[in-house]
């Protein structure tokens, strides 16, 4: 296949060569360790991934539509095109995992090829994702503690006036410390823990036919007794009466998380209940 003739993650050799500097940059970043790396994929591979990004009316999409978020996810790689599948393989391969370990100082990272909560993400005009810290343990693999998020943005174009910047918030939720625009072919890596609050809470203003597109991959370590906690949504200063809805919805999602872990309740089933015909 033609895709196999292209080194998909063309920037990896450069990042490996520059690892000492990147490691310092990662550790020093505020409000928690993170880094933004542009030009991740070979241009030809990026163009193919954008062209292959599956339409919202295709198979495999899960609805995450409630008070705290309105987005769609697809973890069924068999419904993706070959270039997207190749990129996932590169980003979960031992070489890239070793790079992440060197970058972050976290040893023995485990790539989650089941993409629990990850995979392709798409947010349509008007969609949002409230500020939150992520769930802390894998839903189906016992003993896996979540440690890193890797996001690859797959937007062929993204204008500042459309919103959608990923906001990184201070641990005390007093302010957004940094904003990261979802520029195409941009890779972002950040440590995820109980206080790594992030989101894009304002409704997107991109035009109809445009969506905020990304690939999300999560990395774990094996522990005897990892802490289990569902996604922890937070209200921002000035959210006013919205705080009540945010926290009520968070409680409902916590209950769903218990069902999901203990009763093997599927996202696909709840997605059908939440579908709003978008």
Which pair of structure tokens corresponds to residue 147? Answer: 């440690």
Which pair of structure tokens corresponds to residue 88? Answer: 């996932």
Q: pLDDT 10s per residue in the chain (278 long)?
A: 444 467 899 999 999 999 999 999 999 999 999 999 999 999 999 999 999 999 988 888 999 999 999 999 999 999 999 999 999 999 999 999 999 999 999 999 999 999 999 999 999 999 999 999 999 999 999 999 999 999 999 999 999 999 999 999 999 999 999 999 999 999 999 999 999 999 999 999 999 999 999 999 999 999 998 888 999 999 999 999 999 999 999 998 888 887 777 665 556 555 555 454 33
Query: What's the pLDDT at 264?
Result: 57
- Cis before 57 (ω within 30): no
pTM exceeds 0.75, yes or no:
yes
Query: What's the pLDDT at 272?
Result: 52
Contacts of 215 (CB under 8 A, 6+ apart): 84, 87, 88, 91, 118, 119, 120, 121, 151, 152, 154
Query: What's the pLDDT at 256?
Result: 80
User: Facing residues of 213 across strands?
Assistant: 122
User: Facing residues of 72 across strands?
Assistant: 63, 122
For the residues of 53-107, what is the DSSP string, one character each?
A: PPPTTSTTEEEEEETTEEEEEE--GGGS-HHHHHHHHHHTSHHHHHHHHHHH---
Domains along the chain with CATH numbers: 2-274 (2.60.120.620)
Residue 214 and residue 91 in contact, taking contact as beta carbons nearer than 8 Å = no
């Amino acid at each position: 296949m033609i895709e196999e003739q292209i080194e998909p993650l063309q920037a990896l050799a450069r990042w490996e060569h520059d690892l000492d500097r990147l490691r310092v940059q990662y550790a020093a970043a505020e409000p928690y360790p993170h880094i933004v790396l542009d030009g991740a994929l070979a241009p030809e591979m990026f163009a193919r991934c954008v062209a292959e990004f599956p339409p919202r009316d295709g198979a495999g999409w899960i609805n995450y539509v409630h008070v705290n978020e309105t987005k769609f996810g697809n973890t069924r790689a068999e419904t993706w095109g070959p270039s997207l599948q190749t990129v996932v393989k590169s980003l979960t391969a031992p070489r890239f995992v070793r790079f992440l370990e060197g970058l972050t100082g976290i040893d023995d990272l485990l790539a989650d090829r089941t993409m629990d909560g990850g995979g392709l993400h798409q947010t349509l005009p008007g969609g949002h994702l409230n500020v939150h810290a992520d769930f802390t343990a894998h839903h189906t693999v016992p003993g896996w503690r979540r440690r890193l998020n890797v996001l690859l943005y797959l937007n062929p174009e993204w204008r500042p006036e459309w919103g959608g910047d990923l906001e990184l918030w201070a641990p005390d939720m007093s302010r957004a410390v940094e904003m990261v625009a979802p520029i195409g072919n941009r890779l972002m890596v950040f440590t995820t823990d109980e206080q790594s609050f992030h989101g894009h809470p304002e409704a997107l203003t991109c035009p109809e036919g445009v969506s905020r597109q990304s690939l999300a991959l999560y990395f774990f370590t094996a522990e005897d007794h990892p802490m289990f906690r569902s996604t922890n949504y937070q209200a921002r200063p000035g959210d006013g009466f919205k705080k009540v809805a945010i926290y009520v919805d968070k409680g409902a999602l916590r209950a769903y998380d218990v069902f999901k872990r203990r009763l093997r309740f599927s996202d696909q089933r709840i997605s059908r209940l939440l579908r709003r015909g978008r």
